């Protein structure tokens, strides 16, 4: 009997402690929105053309006044958001997050956010930018700053697996300046099939390059010419022949216009459609 009484006392003690904790949790002061952050910079006169050559440099520093919350003190998290101008942030893209009241954004970070947000590459875009504050692990009690509409031109981010086309038959000519080279991407889901839609110029030549160092000097040492593919047993479209120049480039004999060039390493074919 004494043992039963001891167990009962212990059980009641646990219940009492649990109830006390519940009461204390209930009495804790809730966190509530008080003052939204205020975006200070960049403002509407900000305009930037992003470049892969400067991707590690700072594109801009976002600065804002702190948000304020009423209730129990807690860490305030800030998210820098961008959206297409005029969309009222219906589908915002988060550039980065921080607990500070300013954040420096690199060219690569801003470019990635723009590309992921659906902004047009190599064209000037109108971009709404704002700061969102929130508290707690779940990011609740959000407050939003004012926004500014800035201008930004993102650069194209090529696939790591891409090959490249350079030559007088291509839109960029024999140049690696300012992205003149044509990206020749790997077809999704394949391991050795490359395809691109490109305007080819009649009676001009080009060469295939395996790499790109993204400098004006180009990557001339990584090329494959007409004999490389012919000697490897490829069946090559009749409109492509050996230019018989110093580098034995491809020469395009078809009419000037948009064509689909495909090099299929599995089937060993080079086709033009």
Cβ–Cβ < 8 Å for 155, 50: yes
Residue 178: HSE in the Cβ half-sphere, 13 Å Cα cutoff: 5
Q: Where in the chain is the domain with CATH 2.60.40.10?
A: 32-153
DSSP reduced 3-state for 60:
strand
Mean pLDDT, rounded, of the chain: 89
Q: Check pLDDT > 80 for residue 230.
A: yes
Give the separation between CA 83 and CA 62, rounded to whole angstroms: 15
Beta bridge partners of 200: 257
Cβ–Cβ < 8 Å for 156, 179: yes
Among the listed residues 127, 146, 164, 166, the one whose alpha carbon sits nearest the alpha carbon of residue 49: 127
Beta bridge partners of 259: 198
pLDDT band at 159 (very low <50, low <70, confident <90, very high): confident
Beta bridge partners of 9: none
Q: Check pLDDT > 70 for residue 18.
A: no
Q: What is the pLDDT of residues 45-96, one digit of tens each?
A: 999 999 988 999 999 999 999 999 998 878 999 999 999 999 999 999 999 9
Q: Where in the chain is the domain with CATH 2.60.40.3620?
A: 163-272
Helix ranges (H only) for 117-244 are 226-231
Q: Which fold has domain 163-272?
A: Immunoglobulin-like (2.60.40)
Handedness of CA 123, 259, 218, 109 (dihedral sign): positive
Residue 179 pLDDT: 82
* Residue 158: partners with Cβ closer than 8 Å, 6 or more residues away: 183, 185, 212
Summarize the confidence of residues 249-256 as an average pLDDT.
Answer: 98
Class of domain 32-153 as given by CATH: mainly beta
């Amino acid at each position: 009997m004494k043992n039963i009484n001891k167990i009962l006392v212990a059980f009641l003690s646990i219940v009492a402690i649990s109830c006390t904790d519940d009461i204390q949790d209930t009495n804790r002061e809730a966190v509530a929105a008080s003052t939204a952050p205020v975006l200070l910079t960049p403002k509407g006169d900000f305009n930037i053309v992003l470049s892969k050559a400067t991707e590690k440099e700072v594109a801009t520093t976002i600065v804002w006044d702190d948000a304020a919350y009423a209730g129990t003190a807690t860490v305030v998290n800030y998210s820098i958001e961008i959206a297409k101008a005029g969309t009222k942030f219906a589908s915002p893209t988060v550039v980065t997050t921080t607990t500070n009241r300013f954040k420096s954004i690199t060219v690569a970070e801003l470019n990635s956010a723009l590309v992921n947000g659906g902004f047009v590459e190599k064209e000037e875009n109108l971009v709404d930018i704002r700061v969102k504050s929130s508290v707690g692990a779940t990011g609740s009690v959000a407050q939003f700053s004012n926004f500014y509409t800035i201008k930004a031109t993102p650069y194209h981010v090529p696939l790591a697996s891409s090959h490249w086309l350079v030559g007088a038959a291509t839109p960029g000519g024999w140049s690696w300046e300012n992205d003149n080279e044509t990206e020749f991407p790997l077809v999704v889901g394949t391991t050795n099939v490359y395809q691109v839609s490109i305007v080819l110029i009649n009676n001009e030549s080009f060469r295939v390059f395996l790499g790109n160092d993204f400098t004006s000097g180009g990557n001339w040492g990584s090329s494959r010419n007409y004999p490389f593919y012919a000697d490897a047993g490829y069946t090559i479209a009749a409109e492509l022949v050996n230019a018989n120049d110093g580098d034995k480039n491809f020469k395009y004999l078809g009419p000037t216009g948009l064509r689909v060039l495909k090099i299929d390493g599995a089937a060993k074919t080079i086709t033009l459609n």
